[in-house]
Amino acid sequence: MQNLTCPYCKTVLTSSPKRRTACVSCSRPIFVRKGRLRTEDEAPALDFCARLGVSATLLDKTRDTLSKEFGHPASAADAAWRVMNTLVSETKDYHARGMIYFQMARFLWEEGKDHLQIAREVPRMELAAWKKSADAGLLDLRAIRLTVITAHEASCPNCRELEGTELTYQEALNSSPIPVPECTNETSPTQPRGWCRCIYGLHP
């Protein structure tokens, strides 16, 4: 364990936590990530970055940079968002970009923020990948159909209404039917917009 003080109040701890605990002094939650004690703000930011192969070191450096830009301490969430935006701008592969956009949308969703615009980039990246294949002569977009696939009974009623809907590539590109804006999956008092799990299927 690299640090044995509370990441909030800096009280010296009498033991080395192995999992989430509460500070005996300030009672705030302490999280353990990679052997270091982290705050409630830092832990989810680190988790999202780890899913994208981003190290804690890069996140911390980005946070320091932002703090200098802002003129006050930046949050770990701000740093994670900057890292993800940098990643997506530097990534050319559409499938990889879609994965980054997915994590960005989920990050916003878990923070109770509106994630719809970012979430729409996930299927758009899939459409762009198919267009790239078509341009390379590997796929004929005029001969295929896209089908909306839902999580069936696990989906909300609004999403189930789209189950099996067939679209052309151009129709999907123009109308962006998924994610469903009115999805109610996993809604809560802090997150009124649902997390839509609808995807496209591709068939002749």
Q: Residues 45-103: pLDDT tens digits?
A: 999 999 999 999 999 999 999 999 999 999 999 999 999 999 999 999 999 999 999 99
CA neighbor of 18 nearest in space, from 4, 55, 48, 9:
4
Residue type, 182: E
Please tell me whether residue 181 adopts helix, strand or coil conformation: coil
The span from the CA of 142 to the CA of 147, in Å, is: 14
Three-state DSSP string of 124-157: HHHHHHHHHHHHCCCCCCCCCEEEEECCHHHCCH
- The answer to the question of residue 79 being in a domain is no
Q: Are 58 and 83 contacting, i.e. CB atoms less than 8 angstroms apart?
A: yes
- The answer to the question of residue 32 being in a domain is yes
Provide the pLDDT for residue 2: 52
Could you tell me how far CA 149 lies from the centroid of its own chain? 21
Provide the pLDDT for residue 175: 94
Query: Which whole number is the average pLDDT over 3-27?
Result: 91
Q: What is the pLDDT of residues 108-138, one digit of tens each?
A: 999 999 999 999 999 999 999 999 999 999 9
Provide the pLDDT for residue 177: 96
- The answer to the question of residue 16 being in a domain is yes
The span from the CA of 78 to the CA of 184, in Å, is: 27
Tokens linked to 173: 């590109």
The span from the CA of 56 to the CA of 160, in Å, is: 40
Domain that holds residue 6: 1-40
- The answer to the question of residue 3 being in a domain is yes
For the chain, give the mean pLDDT.
94
Q: Going by C-beta distance under 8 Å and a sequence separation of 6 or more, which residues neighbour residue 119? A: 101, 102, 105, 109, 179, 196
Query: What is the domain count for the chain?
Result: 1
Q: What is the pLDDT of residues 22-57, one digit of tens each?
A: 999 999 999 999 889 999 999 999 999 999 999 999
CA neighbor of 178 nearest in space, from 149, 137, 139:
149
Query: Which whole number is the average pLDDT over 152-174?
Result: 94
Helix (H) or strand (E) holding 123: helix 121-135
- The answer to the question of residue 165 being in a domain is no
- The answer to the question of residue 11 being in a domain is yes
The span from the CA of 109 to the CA of 187, in Å, is: 10
Provide the pLDDT for residue 44: 95
